[in-house]
Copies of this chain bind each other. A is one copy, B any other.
Amino acid sequence: MASAFETKATIATFGGKLLKLSHKSNATQTPMDVNLYLPPASNDRKVPVLIFLSGLTCTPNNCSEKGFFHAAASKAGLAVLYPDTSPRGADLPGEKDSWDFGEGAGFYINATAEPWKKHYNMETYVTKELPEAVFGAYGDKLDSSRVSITGHSMGGHGALTLFLKNPGMYRSVSALAPICNPSQCPWGEKAFGNYFGSDKSVWAGSDATELVRSQLKSGEKLPCLIDVGTGDNFYNQKQLLPENLEKAVKETGVEGVTVRYQPDYDHSYFFISSFAEDHVQHAAKHLL
């Protein structure tokens, strides 16, 4: 069980409060920072929660400051939860050598290979330990039965895979510039090769494109919105591969998936913030 939250800051913004929290995690065996945006209180009704999983190198602060989710979350009456992107301070060899692996790059999986498996358990952290801790501490304000998930880049991969691996856990999923097929792109090959080892059948269990094929059947509904910018260097370098996910969706006969290609948009928070409102509204449709 995680330790109680320490509240490091309480910040008024968009009519609500952004809480900067920290607690000790059992899953990662490290302290973990997490931000929680609480929309303006509306009588005594509990609000649903949208989890935002951030991309490579980010902390909970990047999207809290630059993602612009709070304007729309306040209007819709949603809380937004921002987990960190990896354990920090585990002090493993090579952990800080790359910007796209190790610290800031936990990929929302449970590592099975040494030396990562002791700490790099972001899947358990995000799907079990963190929600238990948050709904335990803020159960008077948040409705644990209404949760959706979204994310950016590596966090888009996280949102898609955690949704697909955990039927019933989330009401909807969306993603901005997600890594859709990590088994087939350099970022994913590096991360999965190190966290899981070389067995690609294991990789498939944490690959959104493979999961669509293995977990869903023709006619099944995947309530999913994806935005990708056509000016995104990582999209153009084939790190994201949304076309592979679209192909899997089409060939499997899955319904409910919308993939939009936004002309000229890049991979940055200028892109995320531009479409934050759409992603909040997508979640709100399923949560409210």
Contacts and interface: CB of A to CB of B under 8 A. Distances in A.
Contact of A66 (B14, B18, B65, B265): B65
Contact of A71 (B71, B262, B271): B71
Q: Which 9 A-B pairs have the closest CB atoms?
A: A13-B270, A12-B264, A12-B265, A14-B274, A11-B270, A13-B274, A68-B68, A65-B66, A66-B66
B65 A11 contact: no
A196 interface: no
A270 B12 contact: yes
Interface of A: 11-15, 18, 65-66, 68, 71, 229, 231, 262-266, 268-271, 273-274, 277
A271 B12 contact: yes
Given A65-B66, A68-B71, A71-B71, A273 B12 contact: no
6 contacts: A12-B262, A12-B270, A13-B274, A14-B273, A66-B66, A68-B273
Contacts of A66: 65-66
A271 B68 contact: no
Given A11-B270, A68-B68, A71-B273, 19 more contacts: A12-B229, A12-B263, A12-B264, A12-B265, A12-B271, A12-B274, A13-B265, A13-B270, A13-B271, A13-B273, A13-B274, A14-B273, A15-B274, A18-B270, A65-B66, A65-B270, A68-B71, A68-B273, A71-B277
A48 to B, nearest CB: 22
Contacts of A265: 12-13
A270 B263 CA distance: 29
Contacts of A268: 11
A269 to B, nearest CB: 7
A13 B14 CA distance: 20
A217 to B, nearest CB: 38
Contacts of A277: 71
A256 B198 CA distance: 70
Contacts of A18: 270
A273 B37 CA distance: 15
Contact of A266 (B12, B229, B266): B12
A124 B215 CA distance: 65
Contacts of A271: 12-13
A12 B231 contact: yes
A228 to B, nearest CB: 13
Contacts of A15: 274
Nearest to A269: B65
A266 B71 contact: no
A117 B79 CA distance: 51
